[in-house]
Amino acid sequence: MMLVHLLTLTGADVVGNVKKAAANLKDYTSRMESKTYKDGKMEYKLYQHKYLRPGFIFMKVVKGKNKGGVAVYNPYKKKVRAKKGFIKVWLSPDDRRLRSPVGHRIYESTIPWFVDRLDTRAKFLHEGTLFGRRVYVLEQPLDPSKNYGAVKAKYWIDAEMNLPLQISDYGSDGKVIRTVKYRRLRVNVGLTEKDFNI
């Protein structure tokens, strides 16, 4: 007779696996979608997005406001190299021209940044499917003073890679403040600092 053991997956289980996967994340590429909501208006952007530890970030606007614009964050200089057309400038990541309508900075849209917000308070909601992949959906309480008014977030975690494919932040009124999706996510592809030159 075969015994069947039913295992209950907890938020802590998933978060533990996500933290391990993020610790082994050297780089990634994706098509990152961002929807930000403020004052009843939604801003949509699609980016060509690259990341390399310890924090190099490349973002090129493919669709949306400032289409064609490129911003590259250098973690050593703590500056952003921005390019629009033939013009290149160095800017602070605090520059309002580089921030979302809500205020998010360029480094507050990376997978490691989102993973850092996860902790043992995360609640496992259910399994599902996203972009044709099996995902675990978590709900994470947030400190609104550190998350642009968001009091909680939902995470859609890829069950195989153990990394988030989508994150939605919610305000105290239950409305979405921001949703970020990582489409065509490829990890540890061998990026170098040269891939962040513009």
pLDDT one-digit tens code per residue, 90-129: 999 999 999 999 999 999 999 999 999 999 999 999 999 9
Domain with 100 in it? 11-190
What confidence score (pLDDT) does residue 7 get?
58
4 lies in some domain: no
What confidence score (pLDDT) does residue 5 get?
32
With 0-12 / 13-18 / 19 or more C-beta atoms within 10 angstroms meaning exposed / middle / buried, residue 42 is exposed
With 0-12 / 13-18 / 19 or more C-beta atoms within 10 angstroms meaning exposed / middle / buried, residue 65 is exposed
User: Is the backbone peptide bond immediately before 112 cis, with ω within 30 degrees of 0?
Assistant: no
What confidence score (pLDDT) does residue 3 get?
38
Q: Say which amino acid occupies 183.
A: R
pLDDT one-digit tens code per residue, 32-81: 999 999 999 999 999 999 999 999 999 999 999 999 999 999 999 999 99
25 lies in some domain: yes
What confidence score (pLDDT) does residue 22 get?
98
158 lies in some domain: yes
86 lies in some domain: yes
Closest CA to 167 of 198, 132, 122: 122
- Phi-psi domain of 131 (left: phi exceeds 0; alpha: psi -120 through 50; beta: other): left
Whole-number Å distance between alpha carbons of 138 and 149: 19
What confidence score (pLDDT) does residue 8 get?
78
* H or E element that contains 63: strand 56-63
Q: What mean pLDDT comes out for the span 142-167? A: 98
**SS3 for 21?**
helix
pLDDT one-digit tens code per residue, 3-27: 333 357 899 999 999 999 999 999 9
Mean pLDDT, the chain, rounded, equals 95
Quote the DSSP letter at residue 142: -
133 lies in some domain: yes
What is the token pair recorded at 118? Answer: 């996860």
6 lies in some domain: no
How many structural domains comprise the chain?
Answer: 1
177 lies in some domain: yes
196 lies in some domain: no
Contacts of 71 (CB under 8 A, 6+ apart): 57, 58, 59, 80, 81, 82, 83, 98, 106
